[in-house]
Structure 1
Amino acid sequence: MTPNRLPRDRDIAQALRRLFPHLEDRDERAIVDRALGSRGLRTASPEAAAWLSAVAYARHSFTDYDQMLSDGYDQESARHFTLEALNDVLRGWGARRVVGANED
């Protein structure tokens, strides 16, 4: 973690390390940037911002989700069919929690 980070940036990065102890630095930076750039996460707790940003990042970066949307699947179907791959990524990062079938 870079010592010159702003407080919110630092707090989200610390939350990521607690939630995902095996997360690589390059993924951490991308997830923190995603959280900081999200209007919907501006008032979220650092833990909520870290979790939601990590799930979105993993879904878009490490599953076929975007390709499925391009192929005409609706969001719900694409999320259903990529759920196992998404949770595999989260587990690989050391997460103790995964995304359930009815959770975003």
Structure 2
Amino acid sequence: MSSGTKRQREMRKALNQLLPRVPLLDAEAILEVAQSRHLRHLPPSIALWQATTARVRHAHTEYEALLEEGYDRDSARFFVIDAMNDILTDWGSGRRVDPNDAGLDAGEIG
């Protein structure tokens, strides 16, 4: 039985290193986005980080609600950074979202 392509194996390994305590549901969602066509041009670690920040922002913060309330994207992102970093900490990540780096959602790349 094959364990996937080389890139898929690299992604899983990188995900385990980046987020050792990520819940399975979130891990699967992150991997699905990170392996999508529009992120293939990126190294696995960067694609994973983009997919991770998008997943945390959209699924685990009030980001969508802030947008619905009329906040612009940059303002909404500013207000959810602490919550995002709390989730990343809970998942065992040593990396944090930098408030000075607006970043892009995985869906906005390419």
> TM-score with structure 1 length normalisation?
0.89
> 2:12 & 2:86 partners in 1: Cα distance?
21
Runs in 1 of length 4+ with deviation above 6 angstroms?
A: none
Partners of 1:71 and 1:5 in 2: CA distance: 42
Identity score, percent: 37
Distance in 2 between residues matched to 1:69 and 1:17, nearest whole Å: 31
Q: Deviation at 1:37?
A: 2.1
Deviation at 1:5, TM superposition (A): 2.6
Pairing 1:20–2:3 present: no
Pairing 1:29–2:28 present: yes
Listed one character per residue, the Cα deviations across residues 24-45 of structure 1 (whole Å, up to 9, x for unaligned) are 2221111010112251x21111
Q: Distance in 2 between matches of 1:67 and 1:8?
A: 35
Equivalences for residues 1-104 of structure 1 within 5 A: 4-37=3-36, 39=38, 41-103=39-101, 104=103
Distance 2:48 2:12 in 1: 7
* Secondary structure class of the residue paired with 1:27: helix
Q: CA deviation at 1:9?
A: 2.1
- Report the RMSD for the aligned CA atoms in angstroms: 1.3
Aligned pairs, number: 101
Distance 1:12 1:100 in 2: 23
Unaligned runs of 5+ in 1: none
The separation in 2 between residues aligned to 1:70 and 1:14, in whole angstroms, is 36
**Unaligned 5+ runs, structure 2:** 104-110
Corresponding residue SS for 1:97: coil
- Deviation of residue 57 (structure 1)? 0.4
Q: Which has the higher contact order (CA 8 A, sep 6+)?
A: 2
